[in-house]
Chain A
Amino acid sequence: MADEKTLDTRVKVHLKIKRFNPETDRRPHFEDYEVLLRAGDRVLDALHLVKWTIDGTLSFRRSCAHGVCGSDAMVINGENKLACVNLIRNVGTHLTIEPIRGLPIIKDLVVDMEPFFAQYRAVLPYLINSDEPGYKERRQSQADRERYDDTSKCILCACCTTSCPIYWTNDGYIGPAAIVNAHRFIFDSRDEGTQERLDILNEKSGVWRCRTSFNCTQACPRGISVTKAIEEVKREILFDRI
């Protein structure tokens, strides 16, 4: 561990990055780069090294660099991952990096996130509650709090939604991330908007599009059981209808 940092042993990392500049290119293409990195460095460090020492025109989003802001979702060797939580020693020294799929590419690894956030907004992702609690906290039992703990971890990185084959092929599907954020409130004992959200998710664009391929669960960098959350919402809709 510490040795990898301090001994400064570097390995050659080959990157094959999908590039697209809308001002000059007609279609995306791959470019190859080589940089020297330590095994304990992040994929994000590799991208920075390319940008800072080889080609400053490479564009990608990033901010926190440790997996909590959700900016740097990308396809790394075929799988959706955050570049800042994957180390070279785990992903290897030959990397193919592409933008996440299913959202329009704007430049290089930067995609248009607006459709994704529009789907998020569509599920009423906020507490709906009409009572007047006054100057005190609402009570919530530890068990009730635990009920939505998993889905409250979501950082809206879009790894799940853009790993979903249904999302790629059907542009109406609201996608796993929106359902996760609906789940977070549907199962919050303080919330009163469940019926509205279930109606939204019962529509053609909603949960029934899910074919439980589990791509989303595998892709989630926060370890959220996304497919399970979708199944719980489905059951809630069915249970309500009986």
Chain B
Amino acid sequence: MLLSVKVHYHSYDAIIVGAGGAGLRAAIEVAGKVKTAVITKLYPTRSHTGAAQGGMCAALANVEEDYWEWHAFDTVKGSDYLGDQPAIDIMCKEAIDAVIDLEHFGMAFSRTADGHIDQRRFGGHTRNHGEAPVRRSCYAADRTGHMILQTLFQQCVARDVKFFNEFQVFDILFDDTSQQRKVVGVVAYELATGDLHVFATKAVLLATGGYGKMFKISSNAHTLTGDGPALLFQKSIPMQDIEFFQFHPTGIYGFGILLSEAARGEGGILRNVLGERFMDRVAPTVKDLAPRDMVSRAIHAEIVAGRGAGPEKDYVFLDLTHLPPEQIDSKLPDISDFARTYLGIEPKTQQIPIQPTAHYAMGGIPTNVDAEVLADETGATVLGLYAAGECACVSVHGANRLGTNSLLDIVVFGRRGGKKMAQYVLETDHPEITKDAHIPFQQRIDELKNANGQEKVAIIRAELQETMTKNASVVRTHDSLEEALGVIEDLSKRYLNISIDDKGNVFNYDLLEALELEHLLELARAMVVSAQARTESRGAHWRDDFPTRDDVNWMKHTLTTKKPDGTLRLAYKPVVGGKYPPMERKY
């Protein structure tokens, strides 16, 4: 017997789930053309795009010679040759239009003396195929993501886009009767009331962001729990390259809060406890501006070698003290405040303790360059289903994303996905969905509210985060991953025995956190199993027991699928190459 719950029915042509940069950019493209709604578990301006700091690269050549082909080369090399080159070409070429579009939307870019969009250096971005760092990142002080998120939201307000704020999508409905799977709707939970909403729709674009909250030390928001990927994963849509997760080198020690690579772009230096600039040894040409995977590993190596600082010798320093104070104030104001707020450190005179922090999912829902979701390794699409931004894997980031390319990814592929979706909607009939589409999810809520198990969500989540940071981070081995897998499987069993305190309908975050934890557990298992299978080191996936890249056996993408019996199936598809053949990655 189900508890009574109010159910509302809606009908839209297009539904966008998530209101960060990718979702909002897609909405701008779709709204006005077809009947559109954006469903978001937060208010749009709370999305984690707003936390991005450093910039968005595009070869505008406003301050020095640059070409989109150089940007593409850097991205391919940065990806450790796992990125698909045709997709990377599209992203780097369209980057220029994407920046100009944002400027036209009112984006508050920092400017050069002659009034052009200013550009600065960023990790892994070089002139002429690796000669020296290049000024390619378009930015707005160190709050570029904030400005992009605000600008895109402003444009949605101007276009009167319909938002369902603080609604959590918990089911994506498919028509599985014909050979090609087709989207027909979504079921969402309204946080303010506990009511359920069934949306019949021709198309869905997922833009739900990442899943970095499976790690203990993380730059991610509490709400980044992989909801979109996990919902599809539960319905046997694969995750691509999920073993590749980026650890940003400069998280505030103990907190994991991001200190932008822009700090090094402006001249900041990493030092060990002896004061040595250790990146000199690792990347003699670009030094501290090497890609993130290499810098994070270099920090890890310093700590392992006993050259870390602090009582536990487990952090190193970001040194900005040699920069002119006015440069810190004008170019890095927010991250300076973070150092003051959380560590009581004045970055103009003191070095900042940092450690690598879980930051970005390179893997995600497999898509093509039009953001259409792929059902399997053959490239078959799911009709009406799209994904863009961090939740998706095109793949433009491959095994390691370059700094600034995430903000680029969300605007380029948000726009492409929106365009494609609008076109699809105009050619498609409205779906029929049954009145009881919400029942499975309603049963799930009832189960959770009625459950009287002994286990607690916060404890299981903390143990998951602990093992992922310890065993599946910057450096992995078969054994460390085996340990993580054992813990995850145990936690998944314990999860079946949870109970929650809040049985109410209004803003029941207790219930929400329980459902989010299921997503994290699901994706963590997929990550660890996929990482264990990949017996090589490539980009952010470093295996101490297989410390070299293996282009003979592993120039391929992983596709991890959950079978109906709950076991995982690993399949692979080749990387799509292009102009740049794999070469040794030196900087």
A contact residues vs B (CB 8 Å cutoff)? 1-3, 5-7, 21-24, 40, 48, 51-53, 55-57, 59-71, 85, 87, 106-108, 110, 113, 117, 121, 124-127, 129, 133, 135-142, 145, 148-149, 152-156, 185, 188, 190-191, 223
Name, among B112, B222, B253, the residue most crowded by chain A CB atoms within 10 Å (CB to CB). B222
Assess whether B115 is in contact with A139, with CB atoms less than 8 Å apart: yes
Least CB distance, B273 to chain A, in whole angstroms? 12
In this assembly, does B143 line the interface, its C-beta being within 8 Å of a C-beta of chain A?
yes
Given A6-B311, A137-B100, A152-B108, A107 and B506 touching (CB < 8 A)? Answer: yes
Given A1-B345, A137-B117, A66 and B51 touching (CB < 8 A)? Answer: yes
Task: Provide 26 A-B residue pairs closer than 8 Å at the C-beta atoms, listed in order of the A residue.
Answer: A1-B345, A2-B254, A2-B310, A2-B311, A6-B254, A24-B504, A40-B343, A51-B458, A52-B458, A55-B501, A56-B457, A56-B510, A57-B510, A60-B509, A61-B46, A70-B45, A85-B341, A87-B341, A106-B506, A107-B507, A124-B158, A125-B154, A125-B157, A137-B60, A138-B103, A190-B106
Assess whether B310 is in contact with A6, with CB atoms less than 8 Å apart: yes
A5–B254 CA distance with the chains assembled, in angstroms: 7
Assess whether A67 is in contact with B341, with CB atoms less than 8 Å apart: yes
Secondary structure class of chain B's binding surface, majority of residues: loop
Assess whether B104 is in contact with A138, with CB atoms less than 8 Å apart: yes
Smallest CB gap from B353: residue in A: A2
Assess whether B110 is in contact with A145, with CB atoms less than 8 Å apart: yes
> How many A-B residue contacts, CB cutoff 8 Å?
173
A53–B43 CA distance with the chains assembled, in angstroms: 27
A67: which B residues are within 8 A, CB to CB? 338, 341
B315: which A residues are within 8 A, CB to CB? 2
Assess whether B158 is in contact with A126, with CB atoms less than 8 Å apart: yes
Given A87-B342, A137-B103, A56 and B48 touching (CB < 8 A)? Answer: no
Assess whether A136 is in contact with B100, with CB atoms less than 8 Å apart: yes
From 543 to 569 in chain B, residues with beta carbon under 8 angstroms from any chain A beta carbon are none
A2–B353 CA distance with the chains assembled, in angstroms: 8
Assess whether A127 is in contact with B106, with CB atoms less than 8 Å apart: yes
A188–B151 CA distance with the chains assembled, in angstroms: 13
Assess whether A63 is in contact with B223, with CB atoms less than 8 Å apart: yes
3 closest Cβ pairs, A-B complex:
A127-B106, A56-B501, A52-B458
B42: which A residues are within 8 A, CB to CB? 63, 69, 71
Assess whether B506 is in contact with A21, with CB atoms less than 8 Å apart: yes
Assess whether B116 is in contact with A21, with CB atoms less than 8 Å apart: no
Assess whether A126 is in contact with B343, with CB atoms less than 8 Å apart: no
Assess whether B115 is in contact with A65, with CB atoms less than 8 Å apart: no
Assess whether B46 is in contact with A69, with CB atoms less than 8 Å apart: yes
From 476 to 518 in chain B, residues with beta carbon under 8 angstroms from any chain A beta carbon are 500-502, 504-510
Assess whether A126 is in contact with B154, with CB atoms less than 8 Å apart: yes
Instruction: Identify 19 new A-B residue pairs, CB closer than 8 A, beyond the known A63-B42, A66-B342, A142-B112.
Output: A2-B309, A5-B254, A6-B312, A21-B504, A57-B510, A63-B222, A64-B48, A66-B338, A68-B334, A69-B47, A69-B50, A70-B46, A85-B341, A87-B342, A124-B158, A125-B154, A133-B104, A138-B103, A145-B111
A66–B110 CA distance with the chains assembled, in angstroms: 23
From 107 to 123 in chain B, residues with beta carbon under 8 angstroms from any chain A beta carbon are 108-117
Size class of the contact patch on chain B:
35 or more
From 322 to 343 in chain B, residues with beta carbon under 8 angstroms from any chain A beta carbon are 334, 337-338, 341-343
Given A106-B507, A127-B106, A142-B111, A66 and B353 touching (CB < 8 A)? Answer: no
In this assembly, does B147 line the interface, its C-beta being within 8 Å of a C-beta of chain A?
yes
Q: A1, A56, A140: which contacts B500 (Cβ < 8 A)?
A: A56
A3: which B residues are within 8 A, CB to CB? 311
In this assembly, does B128 line the interface, its C-beta being within 8 Å of a C-beta of chain A?
no
Given A1-B353, A6-B310, A69-B50, A57 and B110 touching (CB < 8 A)? Answer: no
In this assembly, does B64 line the interface, its C-beta being within 8 Å of a C-beta of chain A?
no
In this assembly, does B440 line the interface, its C-beta being within 8 Å of a C-beta of chain A?
no
Assess whether A23 is in contact with B506, with CB atoms less than 8 Å apart: yes
A2–B354 CA distance with the chains assembled, in angstroms: 11
B458: which A residues are within 8 A, CB to CB? 48, 51-53
A135: which B residues are within 8 A, CB to CB? 97, 100
A87–B111 CA distance with the chains assembled, in angstroms: 35
In this assembly, does B255 line the interface, its C-beta being within 8 Å of a C-beta of chain A?
yes
In this assembly, does B126 line the interface, its C-beta being within 8 Å of a C-beta of chain A?
no
Least CB distance, A225 to chain B, in whole angstroms? 14
Smallest CB gap from A128: residue in B: B158
Assess whether A40 is in contact with B254, with CB atoms less than 8 Å apart: yes
A40–B115 CA distance with the chains assembled, in angstroms: 42
Q: B43, B47, B253: which contacts A117 (Cβ < 8 A)?
A: B43
Assess whether B221 is in contact with A64, with CB atoms less than 8 Å apart: yes
Smallest CB gap from A42: residue in B: B342
Least CB distance, A125 to chain B, in whole angstroms? 6
Assess whether B111 is in contact with A140, with CB atoms less than 8 Å apart: yes
In this assembly, does B146 line the interface, its C-beta being within 8 Å of a C-beta of chain A?
yes
A148–B324 CA distance with the chains assembled, in angstroms: 24
Given A6-B312, A145-B108, A66 and B502 touching (CB < 8 A)? Answer: no
A142–B506 CA distance with the chains assembled, in angstroms: 48
Given A66-B338, A68-B50, A153 and B143 touching (CB < 8 A)? Answer: yes
In this assembly, does B150 line the interface, its C-beta being within 8 Å of a C-beta of chain A?
yes
A64: which B residues are within 8 A, CB to CB? 46, 48, 50-51, 221-222
Smallest CB gap from B106: residue in A: A127
Q: B146, B223, B255, B343: which contacts A155 (Cβ < 8 A)?
A: B146
0/1 string, B131-164, CB within 8 A of A gives 1: 0000000001101001100100011011000000
In this assembly, does B531 line the interface, its C-beta being within 8 Å of a C-beta of chain A?
no
In this assembly, does B580 line the interface, its C-beta being within 8 Å of a C-beta of chain A?
no
Name, among A7, A106, A153, the residue most crowded by chain B CB atoms within 10 Å (CB to CB). A153
A51–B309 CA distance with the chains assembled, in angstroms: 34
B221: which A residues are within 8 A, CB to CB? 63-65, 69
Least CB distance, B256 to chain A, in whole angstroms? 9
A2–B48 CA distance with the chains assembled, in angstroms: 27
Q: A23, A137, A188: which contacts B504 (Cβ < 8 A)?
A: A23
A60–B221 CA distance with the chains assembled, in angstroms: 15
Smallest CB gap from A135: residue in B: B100
Smallest CB gap from B343: residue in A: A1
A156–B46 CA distance with the chains assembled, in angstroms: 9
